[in-house]
Amino acid sequence: MARYVIKRDVSSLPERLTRYKSELNEEQFAVVTAQPKATLVVAGAGTGKTRAITYRVAYLLEQGVSPQRILLATFTNRASREMLRRVESLTGSQNVHRVWGGTFHRIANLILRRHASPLGYDANYSILDSEDAKDLINVCIDEAAIDTKAKRFPKAEVIQDIISYANNTDLPLENVIAGKYPYFEMLTSQIKRVDSVYQARKHERNVMDYDDLLLKLKQLLVEKREIAELYAEQFQHILVDEYQDTNRLQAEIIDLLAVKHRNVMVVGDDAQSIFAWRGAEFTNIYEFPKRYPEAQLFKLETNYRSTSEILGLANTSIAANRRQFPKMLKAVKRSRDFMPALVPCSDVEQQSAFVASRILELRDEGTSLEDIAVLYRSHYHSIELQLELSRRNIPYRVQSGVRFFEQAHIKDVVSYLRVLINPRDELAWKRILKLIPGVGNVTANRVFEALSAGEQASLPALRVESTNESAVTALSVIKDAGTRAVRSVPRLASSRPFQDFIKLLETLVSDELRDRPARQITHIFENGYEQYLLENFENAEARSEDIRGLAQFAQRYETTEGLLSELALLATERFKEPQPIVGEEVVEGGEDDELLTLTSVHQAKGLEWKTVFIIWAAEGKFPSPKSLREIDAEEEERRLWYVALTRAKDELYLTYPLLMTDYNRQTVLQKPSRFITECPAELFEVWNLVEEQPAFDAPVLTEPAATEFLN
């Protein structure tokens, strides 16, 4: 058989390469023009990773590679569209849209639409969104004849999360339950039965959920050899962005598609692999050279974001990790002669006061609030700061979700406290009544109607200022009224959950807990609400951590009413007229809608600000003690710390309280995070805070320096 090689038009390549060389640094240019083979690009924070990928695709097209033979896998379809738009601008080609670009799920869907029948599906299969999938799981729970009341069975969204995690990590369901959900281990057989019914139902109805797109694509590539060979031949060049965030299933799919040409270029930063909790597999990037021994390694280390002082701290910090590809970020920006500031504060109130005060100073100096962010390891770390910002009328948005006190689980617990202070609070009563298994809107309405109207002699006479007596009287009323009101629901009034609810209320108004809000919150959490979280939310651990944080915050208040009054600040202090709290809102800004950003570090990945504050940089807070229970978790926490440091462009502040109050109202000395103490002291400038002297001649108090912790 004769072999004929088609020659490419290379007449204009030298001119184009000259242009590329002028628009890229040496590291990026080496990546863009790399030989076609397995390639690992370790791209440090702020080093122009997206630019390198974009120019690589343009370079391949200009080398004569057909666009449909290029696969570009990204983590958002928006990222893919933006990259390909820039490729079109670079090349002038009208065929860029023929590149296979998008998320793993989009690419999987494109292939499965062509080859659904070998898997027993029609090409017009439907894709279930998260809500549809949850509804179908509820149907499957009923069909599997699960007695959800005999032994409280997890809600559909929790089952959905268990199944999804097992799919994406390629682990058996029982292993996932034992490892991540040990409190459901006795229900493993029932959960597996629901999963079996769920998989069968989807197939019968010609529907797939989000995870099925990847699972079925892998199945297609493994079981249907002729189809696998077709796509292995087609995709001559495969590029994967953010490879450190891929899970095991995604990495397996890439390996199956790259099996023939092995021209797979993966781009990512092992030092920014921070999503193991949702299934991302660090070993995908770390062990890439083992799976592809012939792989060439490139590093992007020229950083365009941060000053040399910030990068010096980041480089030193991440160097403590054992499993990594060593790299040294180098700054392009000239030094601003500003060292990362280490700010020990006397307590959490002073920490909040410092952050708010410094933000206002920066704003006066010309830094927009949009260019400032406050980062934290866990959402509850922002409690005191949100209150301080409200007091000072500093507008902010919460990037990491709804504002702390607007979250469902916080509002649930606070509602218990509200009925103790105001037994006529209809919304609070109905909210906590619906937490009782078997109680819905109708029953909750009946109970409250009986509570408010059925005992006319008692309730109208209650006075808010007589809170203790009011709560005791209301408790007596709800015992009787509640029992009568739920007669239409068989056995509910005498059921264990309803009796537990009454017992909980009795304890909350007892002499032992009355007007001790921190202990009341802890008691609510430990006597039913923690179990409620486990059964109803896939992120139950994070929500539990929030409630423990709320209990700790409540330590400073002498009365329950005092705590609730303080929380009302967030509802009444606005920048226009007072408004009630609603979920998902942000504090209104001024005319230009200029807002400070508050965010968890996980949500901050990929973002940057001129000035960054990292609060609660204390041992036991960052790293999270919960995360340190797992193997290799400390290294992931250090990577998370590294991500936080490298969000800052010009100024970086690390703060922590020296003293805090524990659940028993004992004062505890706090140490700075291990991620601070393992770095040389000369990488920081320690700021010793001085309280502003009052009008009268009182002595000025200075706080102890943190230098001793750094040596």
475-498 pLDDT, tens digit per residue, is 565 555 445 545 545 555 567 777
Burial 239-262 (b: 16+ CB within 10 A, else e): bbbbbbbbbbbbbbbbbbbbeebb
Residue 660, pLDDT score: 77
What's at 513, amino acid-wise? L
Q: Is the pLDDT of residue 568 over 80?
A: no
Tokens, residue 632: 């290799």
Which range (431-435, 542-546, 680-684, 695-699) has the least confidence?
A: 695-699
- 10 Å Cβ neighbour count for 600? 21
Residue 286, pLDDT score: 93
Q: Is the pLDDT of residue 181 over 60?
A: yes
The more confident residue out of 556 and 139 is 139
pTM score: 0.81
Q: Among 70-79, 80-89, 213-222, which range has the highest average pLDDT?
A: 213-222
Rounded mean pLDDT, 67-71:
93
Residue 375 pairs in a beta bridge with 599, 614
Residue 460, pLDDT score: 36
Rounded mean pLDDT, 299-322:
95
**Apex CA 566: angle with CA 560 and CA 570, to 5°?**
135
Pairing of β 659-661 and β 667-669: antiparallel
Give the residue carrying structure tokens 């002038």: 92
Rounded mean pLDDT, 266-292:
91
Indicate the pLDDT class of residue 518, thresholds 50, 70 and 90. Answer: confident
Residue 587, pLDDT score: 37
Q: Is the pLDDT of residue 703 over 50?
A: no
Rounded mean pLDDT, 344-360:
93
**DSSP string over 444-509:** HHHHHHHHHTTTTTTGGG--TTSHHHHHHHHHHHHHHHHHHHTTTSTTSTTSHHHHHHHHHHHHHT
Residue 72 pairs in a beta bridge with 101, 239
Q: What is the pLDDT of residues 578-599, one digit of tens each?
A: 333 333 333 333 344 689 999 9
The helix (H) or strand (E) run that includes residue 362 is helix 348-364
User: By the 8 A CB rule, do 69 and 233 touch?
Assistant: no
Residue 380, pLDDT score: 85
The more confident residue out of 146 and 274 is 274
Residue 93 phi/psi, 5° resolution?
-80, 140
Could you tell me how far CA 310 lies from the centroid of its own chain? 24
Q: What is the pLDDT of residues 116-150, one digit of tens each?
A: 999 989 888 888 888 888 888 988 988 888 776 65
Residue 578, pLDDT score: 33
Rounded mean pLDDT, 208-227:
93
**Strands (DSSP E) found in 86-192:** 100-102, 126-127
Indicate the pLDDT class of residue 699, thresholds 50, 70 and 90. Answer: very low
Mean pLDDT for all residues in the chain:
83
Indicate the pLDDT class of residue 562, thresholds 50, 70 and 90. Answer: confident
As a whole number of angstroms, the distance between CA 687 and CA 654 comes to 10
Residue 475, pLDDT score: 57
Q: Is the pLDDT of residue 200 over 60?
A: yes
Residue 505, pLDDT score: 83
Q: Is the pLDDT of residue 416 over 60?
A: yes
Indicate the pLDDT class of residue 442, thresholds 50, 70 and 90. Answer: confident
